[in-house]
């Protein structure tokens, strides 16, 4: 039997912990179990990668991001808080759009290190937005700034039961993964979206009817893919929703290829804060 792949999962941050949780004066880093379980359906081992920050008992020299990258086969950026406008050179137009700059910097480090090692990166929802910014792109702080009628992407009450339609770009990597499928429905929980596309990124899917960018792929030698939807929320018993299995299988197959020493990539010139 082949060794299972070891997949790193970026952490969500909780900077202000409710007192009733009992972590007085502490911060939490955590994962949402659905994304971990989705990866585990393919028999991958999932490891949450904590941030490496100074202070407390940890000194920066003790552990490096590169140490985690050396032990893991690929990286998944999970959803969560907004990307801070500061990270792409803007100012928050509303206090609720300030995002999480601390998490941004932590994930930017992860993305650059995994790409430098030639190891695959898959971004989910916020993860797509973070990848775009890492490659020099920008975001709409809220999709209403793109189009007054933009809607259907976020419903707090419906949450993971909020769906909209997407169109796959003909000839794209996603189109090859889903032959004969031009349109599909996906789970949508986001109010930000790509404004300026990052350097050397290709658009692979658009929302309908408003044509918000819903999937991107790096044109370079390595594997860097982001999807705006949540494939981990798609019930496999519902044929009306896009099956996330082909995407997951492609990502893990590339991770296995790299692990076996058959592929290597270099950091793109435009990547970075």
DSSP code string of 16-63:
S--GGGS-TT--EEE--HHHHHHHHTTT-EEEEE----SBTTB-TTT-
Query: What CATH number should be reported for the domain holding residue 128?
Result: 3.40.50.880
Q: Is residue 230 part of a domain?
A: yes
pLDDT score at 121: 98
Determine phi and psi for 60, rounding to 5 degrees.
Answer: -50, -35
Give the per-residue pLDDT at 27: 82
pLDDT of residue 238: 87
pLDDT on residue 268: 53
Confidence of residue 28 (pLDDT cuts 50, 70, 90): confident
How far apart are the C-alpha atoms of 149 and 50, rounded to whole Å?
A: 39
**Is the residue at 264 inside a domain?**
no
Taking only the tens place, the pLDDT of each residue in 229-242 is: 999 988 888 888 99
Using alpha carbons, list the distances in angstroms from residue 109 to 64, 119, 254: 10, 14, 21
Q: How confident is the model at residue 101 (pLDDT cuts 50, 70, 90)?
A: very high
Q: Percentage of the chain with pLDDT > 70? A: 86
**Cα–Cα distance for residue pair 170/167, rounded to 1 Å:** 9
Quick check: is 270 in a domain? no
Which two tokens mark 97? 């759009």
Q: Which residue range(s) make up the domain with 204?
A: 6-259
Which residues are known catalytic residues? Answer: 125, 230, 232
- Predicted confidence at residue 189, as pLDDT, reads 84
CA 112/CA 271 separation, integer angstroms: 7
Residue 152: pLDDT over 90: no
Top-confidence residue, 220 or 21: 220
Q: How many domains does the chain have?
A: 1
Q: Determine the Cα–Cα distance for residues 266 and 4; give it in Å rounded to an integer.
A: 25
User: For residue 202, is it within any domain?
Assistant: yes
Q: What is the DSSP letter of 90?
A: -
Residue 154: per-residue pLDDT = 60
Q: In the prediction, which pLDDT does 10 show?
A: 96
Mean pLDDT over all residues of the chain? 88
Would you say the pTM of this structure is higher than 0.85? yes
How far apart CA 244 and CA 212 sit, in angstroms, is 20
pLDDT at 271: 55
Helix (H) or strand (E) holding 256: helix 245-259
Using the predicted structure, report yes or no on whether residue 14 has a pLDDT greater than 50.
yes
Query: Is there a contact between 115 and 200 (Cβ–Cβ < 8 Å)?
Result: no
**pLDDT confidence of 273, banded at 50, 70, 90?**
very low
Contact 78, 126 (CB under 8 A): yes
pLDDT in tens, 31-68: 989 999 999 999 999 999 998 865 555 555 678 889 99
Burial class (CB in 10 A: 0-12, 13-18, 19+), 159: exposed
Tens-place pLDDT, residues 155-204 = 566 556 667 899 999 999 999 999 999 999 998 887 899 999 999 999 99
**What is the rounded CA–CA span in Å between residue 39 and residue 8?**
10
Q: Looking at the domain assignment, is residue 185 inside a domain?
A: yes
78 has a pLDDT exceeding 90: yes
Asked, for residue 234, whether it belongs to a domain, the answer is: yes
Helix (H) or strand (E) holding 104: helix 101-116
In a domain, 265, yes or no: no
Q: Is there a contact between 169 and 212 (Cβ–Cβ < 8 Å)? A: no
Q: What is the pLDDT of residue 161?
A: 61
Residue 269 in this model has a pLDDT that exceeds 60:
no
In a domain, 97, yes or no: yes
The number of helix segments (H) and strand segments (E) in the chain equals: 6, 13
Q: Tell me, rounded to whole angstroms, the distance of Cα 78 from its chain centroid.
A: 5
């Amino acid at each position: 039997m082949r060794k299972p792949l070891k997949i790193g999962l970026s952490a969500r941050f909780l900077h202000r912990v409710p007192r009733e949780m009992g972590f007085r004066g502490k911060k939490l880093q955590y994962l949402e179990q659905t994304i971990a379980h989705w990866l585990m359906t393919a028999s991958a081992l999932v490891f949450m990668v904590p941030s490496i920050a100074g202070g407390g008992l940890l000194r920066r020299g003790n552990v490096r991001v590169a140490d985690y990258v050396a032990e893991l086969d690929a990286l998944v950026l999970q959803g969560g808080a907004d990307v801070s406008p500061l990270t792409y050179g803007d100012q928050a137009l509303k206090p609720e759009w300030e995002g999480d700059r601390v998490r941004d910097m932590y994930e930017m480090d992860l993305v650059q290190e995994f790409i430098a090692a030639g190891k695959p990166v898959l971004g989910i929802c916020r993860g797509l937005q973070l990848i775009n910014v890492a490659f020099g792109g920008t975001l709409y702080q809220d999709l209403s700034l793109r189009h007054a009628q933009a809607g259907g992407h976020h419903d707090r009450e419906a949450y993971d039961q909020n769906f909209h339609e997407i169109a796959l770009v003909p000839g794209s990597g996603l189109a090859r993964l889903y032959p004969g499928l031009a349109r599909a429905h996906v789970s949508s929980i986001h109010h930000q979206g790509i404004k300026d596309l990052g350097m050397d990124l290709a658009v692979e899917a658009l929302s309908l009817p408003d044509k918000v960018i819903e999937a991107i792929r790096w044109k370079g030698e390595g594997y860097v893919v982001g999807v705006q939807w949540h494939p981990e929320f798609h019930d496999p018993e519902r044929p009306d929703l896009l099956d996330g299995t082909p995407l997951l299988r492609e990502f893990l197959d590339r991770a296995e290829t790299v692990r076996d020493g058959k592929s290597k990539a270099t950091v793109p010139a435009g990547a970075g804060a």
